[in-house]
Amino acid sequence: MNFNEPHLDYAGISPLIALTVGICVVLLSAVFKPTKRWAPGLTTIALAATAGLLIWQWDDPKTLITGALRLDDLAISISLISILTAGFCVVLSLRERATEEAGSGEYHSLLLGSVLGMVLLAQATNLVSFFVALETLSIPLYILCATNLRREGSLESGLKYLIVGSIGSATLLYGMAFLYGGTGATNFAGIADGIARNGLDGDPLILIGIAMAAVGLAFKTSIAPFHQWTPDVYQGAPTPITAFMAVATKAAAFAVFLRFFDVALGSQLDDWQPALAALAAISIVVGNVGALGQDSLKRMLGYSGVAQAGYMLGGVVVLSESGTSSLVFYLAAYAFMNLAAFAVIVGRERETIFGDDIRAVRGLGTERPLLAWPLTISMLALAGLPATAGFIGKLYLIEALVEGDYTWLAVFIAIGTMISLAYYLRVVAAMWMRPETEVASGARPVIAGASPEADPVDPDAGSRWYIVGPALLAAAVTVFFGIIPQPLVEFASHAGAALFG
């Protein structure tokens, strides 16, 4: 018997190794007394090390593990977005009730596990690594959603996400089975080959496979009409986790969306392009209209996420270098805009009795200007107002869509943006224009039977560095890339060139 030692590029898989070691160390640190409180620090170190190793591989595309993974600039840029979001999540999770309840070590190692899945997913070029990565990403998230063990909403969120996510995964897997059945290949390039070789252009087998894979991915990226779980899960999950989920999951899922549809199914463009365009349009309408009536900020951001996913799907639809670049740009901008908003929500949740209700930010402009500004910038950026990264991102997306002969979808984005102003500006108005009629913070409400969960955990949360810092930083970056977008454009164009260059 012969044994062929596989060639392993250790430099290429070093980010994955760093994350895996990080998971083990963080998990073990929590069960020994002297290192009990080290989990957030160790997690940050692991994330920083991974980011460093990824940046080291920048502009040096390579295929890893016999073609199961491809580490190119698209993978790296998406991974960096995920890691950055996870870093924010770690800071926002300091003093979070969910972290205490679930155990700091478990919480943080699950977070790292999810990041590992995302880094893998962004590199996946094989159905098997694709699916394994997707599950590695999802399973820790299901648990993280439910980490606020004493709140029913959190448990509900975890269970809902588990069930809906499993349906999404199952659908995706079924679609993959069809593609494999038709082409006899699991790696993306092999699927494209198989379709050409077996003359399967437009074959029902392949079409069913594409449709089911698209549906599975739409579940993960919360694209309407597969978005119903999004508001509930976002609202129930601990807010730092919601922030992480909203941004990082979307980034990783869109990376594989691009790679899968470009490399494996690029030849079937005419079949799936109109379908995805329709999904994007539905998403934009459903998300924006759904967000209008929401009083809970997290639900509102959930629906807004659906709409934003619709905008971003436009970047996949056109399947071009500019489409990919604009999608990556938008994802990076979206990360900062969303993180600023979620940081403020985390702070207000802890210091007021209103949780994530819009009443929590009433009068914020006079009470806590350092939180009001980031939230204002975030809302304006999400709405796509000029001088923010959100505006530049939408501009690039629309440009790519027009270039790719999907002008009507660009019109949808413009209309969606107009609708979205209504609910984004409502938050801004609540912050700056409403007089503080009700007791928003500090004093405990005189409500009989108020549960300890409803009480503010920390009346000064809104002035803590680990809330104000991330909020200000994310907002500052949003404005910075709105005025000087060049560095981020450069970053995103590398990602586009990786797939099409």
Partner 1 sequence: MSVYNSVDGHLFLPVLKTYLPILVFAFLGLTVGGIFAMLNHLLGPKKPARETAASRRQGEPYESGIPVEPTKGLRFGVTFYLIAMLFILFDIEVIFLYPIGVILKDADSVFVLGEMITFVVLLLVAFVYVWRKGALDWR
Q: How far is the CB of 262 from partner 1 (least distance, A)?
A: 24
Q: How far is the CB of 27 from partner 1 (least distance, A)?
A: 6
Stretch of 160-168, 198-206, 256-264, 279-287 lying at the interface with partner 1 (CB under 8 A): 198-206
Residue 44 amino acid letter? T
Task: Spell out the residues 6+ positions from residue 91 whose beta carbon is closer than 8 angstroms to its own.
Answer: 40, 466, 469, 470
Whether 255 and 81 have beta carbons less than 8 Å apart is answered as: no
Which residues is 352 bridged to in the sheet? 441
Which of 223, 221, 279 minimizes the C-alpha distance to 409?
279
Q: Which of residues 31 and 163 has its CB atom nearest to partner 1 in the complex?
A: 31
The correct pick among 55, 60, 181, 196 for binding partner 1 (CB under 8 A) is 181
Dihedral sign (CA 365, 371, 377, 382): negative
Using rule CB under 8 A, residue 205 touches partner 1:
yes
* Per-residue interface string for the shown chain with partner 1, residues 227-266, x marking contact by CB under 8 A: ----------------------------------------
Which residues is 71 bridged to in the sheet? 62
Q: Which of residues 28 and 163 has its CB atom nearest to partner 1 in the complex?
A: 28
Q: How far is the CB of 203 from partner 1 (least distance, A)?
A: 7
Using rule CB under 8 A, residue 267 touches partner 1:
no
Q: Which of residues 179 and 328 has its CB atom nearest to partner 1 in the complex?
A: 179
Contact positions with partner 1 (CB under 8 A) in 120-179: none
Q: How far, in Å, CA of 497 to CA of 183, rounded?
A: 28
Q: How far is the CB of 181 from partner 1 (least distance, A)?
A: 5
Alpha helices in 93-203 (DSSP H): 97-102, 104-123, 127-145, 152-183, 188-197
294, exposed or middle or buried, with CB in 10 Å at 0-12, 13-18, 19+?
buried
Residue 194 amino acid letter? G
User: Which DSSP state fits 5?
Assistant: P
34, exposed or middle or buried, with CB in 10 Å at 0-12, 13-18, 19+?
exposed
Which of 219, 382, 191, 409 minimizes the C-alpha distance to 317?
409
445, exposed or middle or buried, with CB in 10 Å at 0-12, 13-18, 19+?
middle
Q: How far is the CB of 383 from partner 1 (least distance, A)?
A: 46
Q: How far, in Å, CA of 284 to CA of 412, rounded?
A: 7
Joined together, the tokens standing for residue 230 give: 């999004």
The secondary structure of the chain in percent helix, strand, coil, rounded to multiples of 5, reads 75, 5, 20
Stretch of 151-159, 194-202, 211-219, 433-441 lying at the interface with partner 1 (CB under 8 A): 194-202
Joined together, the tokens standing for residue 122 give: 């962004």
Q: Which of residues 6 and 452 has its CB atom nearest to partner 1 in the complex?
A: 6
User: Could you give the C-alpha distances from 60 to 73, 260, 415, in angstroms and in order?
Assistant: 8, 21, 40
The correct pick among 3, 435, 446, 447 for binding partner 1 (CB under 8 A) is 3
Count the residues of the shown chain that bind partner 1, applying the rule CB under 8 A. Answer: 19
Q: How far is the CB of 176 from partner 1 (least distance, A)?
A: 14
Using rule CB under 8 A, residue 182 touches partner 1:
yes
Using rule CB under 8 A, residue 203 touches partner 1:
yes
Q: Which of residues 24 and 196 has its CB atom nearest to partner 1 in the complex?
A: 24
Using rule CB under 8 A, residue 198 touches partner 1:
yes
Stretch of 202-210, 310-318, 440-448, 460-468 lying at the interface with partner 1 (CB under 8 A): 202-210
Using rule CB under 8 A, residue 2 touches partner 1:
yes
Whether 214 and 272 have beta carbons less than 8 Å apart is answered as: yes
The correct pick among 16, 18, 19, 27 for binding partner 1 (CB under 8 A) is 27
Stretch of 21-29, 213-221, 455-463, 490-498 lying at the interface with partner 1 (CB under 8 A): 21-29
Q: Which of residues 210 and 286 has its CB atom nearest to partner 1 in the complex?
A: 210
Q: What are phi and psi of 51, to 5 degrees?
A: -60, -45
Residue 253 amino acid letter? A
The correct pick among 32, 56, 408, 465 for binding partner 1 (CB under 8 A) is 32
Using rule CB under 8 A, residue 31 touches partner 1:
yes
Q: Which of residues 19 and 81 has its CB atom nearest to partner 1 in the complex?
A: 19
Task: Spell out the residues 6+ positions from residue 333 whose beta carbon is closer than 8 angstroms to its own.
Answer: 381, 389, 390, 392, 393, 478, 481, 488
The correct pick among 47, 122, 164, 200 for binding partner 1 (CB under 8 A) is 200
Stretch of 136-144, 196-204, 345-353, 360-368 lying at the interface with partner 1 (CB under 8 A): 196-204
Residues that bind partner 1 (CB under 8 A): 1-3, 5, 8, 20, 24, 27-28, 31-32, 181-182, 198-200, 203-205
